[in-house]
Amino acid sequence: MRGLELVHPTSLDEAIKLLDTDDPTIRPFSGGTALMLMMKTGVFQPTRLVNLCGIEAEHAEVTGSADSGLKLGALATLASVERSPDVIQIAPVIARTMKRLANVRVRNVARIGGNLAHGDPHMDLPPVLSSLGGEVVVRGPAGERRMPIEGLFSGYYQTVLEQGELITQVVLPPQRGWSSAYLKCTTRSADDWPALGVAVSLRIVEGAVAESRIMVSAATEKLTRLASAEAVLKGTDATDDAFANAAEAAAAEAETIEDARGSAEYKTELLRVHVRRALGEAVRNGVIQ
Amino acid at 281: E
The residue out of 172, 206, 229 marking a domain boundary is 172
Same domain? For 161 and 198 the reply is: no
Closest CA to 135 of 198, 69, 81: 69
**Structural domain total, the chain:** 3
Residues of the domain holding 79: 57-172
How many CB atoms sit inside 10 A of residue 208's CB? 15
Q: How far is it, in rounded angstroms, from Cα 173 to Cα 66?
A: 9
Whether 157 and 182 share a structural domain: no
The per-residue pLDDT string of the chain (289 residues; one tens digit each, 9 = 90 and over) reads 467 899 999 999 999 999 999 998 999 999 988 888 888 888 889 999 999 999 999 999 999 999 999 999 999 999 999 999 999 999 999 999 999 999 999 999 999 999 999 999 999 999 999 999 999 999 999 999 999 999 999 999 999 999 999 999 999 999 999 999 999 999 888 878 899 999 999 999 999 999 999 999 999 999 999 999 999 999 999 999 999 999 999 999 999 999 999 999 999 999 999 999 999 999 999 988 7
pTM: 0.95
Are 261 and 232 contained in the same domain?
A: yes
Instruction: Report the CATH number that the domain containing residue 123 is assigned in CATH.
Output: 3.30.465.10
What is the secondary structure of 169-208 as a DSSP string?
EEEE---TTEEEEEEEE-SSSTTSPPSEEEEEEEEEETTE
CATH code at position 25: 3.30.43.10
Pairing state between β 5-7 and 48-51: parallel
Please say whether the beta carbons of 148 and 134 come within 8 A: yes
* Shared domain check, 63 and 50: no
Backbone angles phi, psi at 288, to 5 degrees: -75, 130
